Amino acid sequence: MTIGILAVQGAFVEHQNMLNKLGVNHFEIRQPKDLLIPMDGLILPGGESTAMRKLLDDLGMFSTLKEMIAQGLPTLGTCAGMILLAKHLTNQEQSHMQLMDIDVKRNAYGRQLGSFFTTNTFADRMIPMTFIRAPFINRVGQDVNILSTVDGHIVAARQKHMLATAFHPELTGSTYVHEYFLQMIGHGSI
């Protein structure tokens, strides 16, 4: 199994470290030719969603990535990755890929000073969660499963082959979210 990790901006190295812990092959996606490498799944990391979108447009990769995900490529979007996947953004005029039937509020917990760490349930398991200028989900569509809430806000959800978290699972010692994603792909067990 091989996972592609978008590496144009954001916390991609930390996702590489998690996959290394799990013994999973991976590669960085930095330019259009990288999208030709066969992959079983894709990670859209945390970072700054507006910068990621601009870079994807400038590099000519946005439409291709969107099409790959729309056609069923299993995708994990964390923080900014969740914002990229969302169908609607409640506090920004333009959405990005508009693939996952969720409404997301960017920087919902405030600026950098609003960042925090907690332990909460994700898919029936208590895990550590790191939130950095995090979004949360205001609304989910009918076929979206809520996997985690924190303080009454939805912070993780799954729709078919797409998994999105408002928190950064790659910044903790727990590999559970990545294991869950690998299980979604059909590899690994939890």
Token digits of residue 167: 């928190």
Hey, is 74 helix, strand or coil? coil
Catalytic residue among 79, 96, 161, 179: 79
Catalytic residue among 26, 96, 161, 168: 168
- Pair type for strands 145-150 and 153-159: antiparallel
Catalytic residue among 96, 170, 178, 179: 170
Q: Taking a C-beta distance cutoff of 8 angstroms, is the pair 129, 150 a contact?
A: yes
Taking CB atoms within 8 Å and a gap of at least 24, the contacts of 55-64 are 55/8, 55/9, 56/8, 59/8, 59/31, 59/32, 60/32, 61/8, 61/29, 61/31, 61/32, 61/35, 62/97, 64/32, 64/35
Residue 174 φ/ψ, nearest 5 degrees: -85, 130
Residue 101 is classified by DSSP as E
Residue 168 a catalytic site member: yes
- Pair type for strands 2-6 and 25-29: parallel
Question: Which residues are tagged catalytic?
Answer: 79, 168, 170
